[in-house]
Every structure is written in C-alpha cells, then in structure tokens.
C-alpha cells in the first residue's frame, strides 16, 4: 500500500488529523463534533443535497459556507461548525424541509433542536420525501439494482422508477432502511412483499423446509444470476439454512 498522506487542520479550534481527501463530515463526526445531516450515509457516496451539514471553511484566507459531507479535507483549513450564519442557514433549511416532511420524526426533532416549532410555509403533499437521494444511491451503489432515479427538475423533481415502472426493483428494502424520513414503506401480506412508494409487489419464495415465505423470488433469482450461485441456493429460509 502506498503511504497515506495525512493532513492536519482545525475544527472549532481543535486540531485534528485525517487522510488527505477524506470528506470533512465523517472526520468531524469521528472526532465527536455534532453536525446535523440528512442526505449523508457512510455506505454511499456523498451527494450534498439536503445542505444541512453546512460548515464554514477558511482556506487561504477565504471563508465560505460549504457542505461538509462532500468537502475533501486539506492541510491547514480552518473549520467552524456552529457560527451564526451556519445556524441561520440551518434554521431556514429545516423550516423548508419541515414543510416537505411534516410527519417525519427525525426532521421534527432536528427542527425542534434548532428552535423551530413550526414552518411558515404551506405544507407540501409529497409524502414526506425530502429528495435526499439516499434511496437512489443505495439502490445503485450498494444493491446494484439501479431501479430508481431522480425524475424531472426544479420544484417538480421527484424520485422513483423510470416511467413509473418498477421493473428493476427487487424489493430488497435497502431504500426503506436508509430513508431518513421513513417515507418509503414496506408491507408483507401473505406471500407478497410490497414497496409502497415504488408500487412494487413481488411474490415471495416459500422455504422448502418450514414453508414460510421469506424473500421475493425475483430478488433471489436476481442475486443468483448476479453472483453466479447454484440454482438451489435459496431453497431454504435463513432460519432453516442456519439450523441445517
């Protein structure tokens, strides 16, 4: 392995060290600094959509507000995580997000912590989606199914399967797990699993031993094809497989 180039810099006056080019947010979180964030997750690449993780970075004498999730750290930068401007920006962003996702517990909590009890904007009927893009990234980068994407732009921006046809969705639930506002729901009824937001319902495989449906057949075949597993690899549910 090549030598890692380490850089030293300051966060709120405290000297820290990290590998050059690492993104600032994870470094700051590691050192125990609290920076609110919604569209960042360590499992996927940073995107910088929610704008909540704003910090002030001073580099070569110039200070500016920037998102920390996609800011690569560099020697000698000076980071402030809680200035008046940062708080002012965060408050407005949370107020805007609260109008999009008024039912989200996480947003309500973040807003409350920032001193916002209610939003001045009319509530939007978008099912609590804040367009953070975590579902799209986890589906593409981690699962590899690439079943959903952003659609349209501006205030009409949305996320979903292309042409509203969830043909590539394997109903694995990664998007359900990662969604920060819990706006993607998964339901299982009998031998069917539904990802409600994408309107995807798949039949589940029944375990050849205990008879319980345990995962969508389409998903299992997709994995078998993708990683070249034996055809009977998923005949048993995880419980029965473990007990064998």
CB-wise, 70 or 194, nearer to another protein?
A: 70
Instruction: Provide the minimum distance between the beta carbon of 89 and another protein in the complex, in angstroms, as a whole number.
Output: 5
What is the gyration radius of the CA atoms in the chain, in angstroms? 22
Range 196-225, binding another protein (CB under 8 A): none
Binding mask 94-123 for another protein (x = CB under 8 A): --xx-xx-------------------xxx-
Please choose, out of 3-11, 67-75, 178-186, 222-230, the segment that lies near another protein by the rule CB under 8 A.
67-75
Q: What is the size of the binding site for another protein (CB under 8 A)?
A: 36
CB 186 within 8 A of CB 195: yes
CB-wise, 46 or 216, nearer to another protein?
A: 46
DSSP-assigned beta bridge partners for residue 203: 192
Q: What residues contact 89, with CB distance under 8 A and at least 6 apart? A: 51, 54, 65
Q: Count the neighbouring beta carbons within 10 Å of the beta carbon of residue 241.
A: 14
Interface residue with another protein among 62, 117, 153, 189 (CB under 8 A) is: 153
Instruction: Provide the minimum distance between the beta carbon of 5 and another protein in the complex, in angstroms, as a whole number.
Output: 15
- Ramachandran class of 124: left when φ > 0, alpha when ψ lies in -120 to 50, beta otherwise: beta
Q: Indicate the DSSP class of residue 4.
A: P
Range 43-62, binding another protein (CB under 8 A): 47-52, 54
Interface residue with another protein among 8, 20, 88, 185 (CB under 8 A) is: 88
CA dist., res. 241 & res. 116, Å (int)? 50
Long-range pairs, 187-194, Cβ under 8 A, ≥24: 188/213
Q: Indicate the DSSP class of residue 126.
A: S
Please report, as ranges, the residues that interact with another protein according to CB under 8 A.
47-52, 54, 65-67, 70-72, 85, 88-89, 92-93, 96-97, 99-100, 120-122, 130-131, 133, 149-150, 152-157
């Amino acid at each position: 392995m090549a030598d890692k180039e380490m850089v030293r810099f300051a966060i709120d006056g405290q000297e820290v060290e990290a590998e050059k080019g690492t993104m600032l947010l994870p470094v700051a979180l590691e050192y125990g600094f609290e920076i609110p964030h919604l569209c960042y997750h360590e499992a996927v690449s940073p995107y910088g959509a929610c704008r909540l993780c704003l910090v002030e970075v001073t580099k070569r004498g110039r200070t500016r507000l920037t998102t920390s999730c996609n800011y690569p750290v560099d020697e000698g930068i000076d980071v402030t995580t809680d200035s008046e401007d940062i708080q002012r920006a965060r408050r407005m962003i949370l107020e805007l997000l609260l109008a999009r996702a008024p039912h989200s517990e996480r947003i309500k909590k973040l807003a409350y912590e920032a001193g916002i009890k209610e939003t001045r904007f009319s509530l939007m009927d978008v099912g609590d989606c804040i367009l953070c893009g975590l579902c799209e990234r986890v589906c593409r980068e981690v699962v590899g199914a690439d079943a959903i994407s952003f659609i349209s732009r501006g205030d009409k921006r949305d996320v979903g399967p292309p042409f509203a046809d969830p043909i590539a969705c394997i109903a694995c639930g990664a998007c359900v797990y990662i969604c920060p506002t819990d706006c993607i729901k998964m339901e299982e009824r009998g031998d069917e699993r539904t990802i409600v937001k994408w309107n995807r319902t798949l039949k589940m495989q029944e375990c050849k031993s205990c008879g319980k449906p345990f995962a969508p057949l389409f998903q299992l075949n997709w994995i078998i094809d993708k990683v070249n597993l034996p055809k009977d690899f998923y005949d048993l549910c995880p419980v029965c497989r473990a007990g064998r």
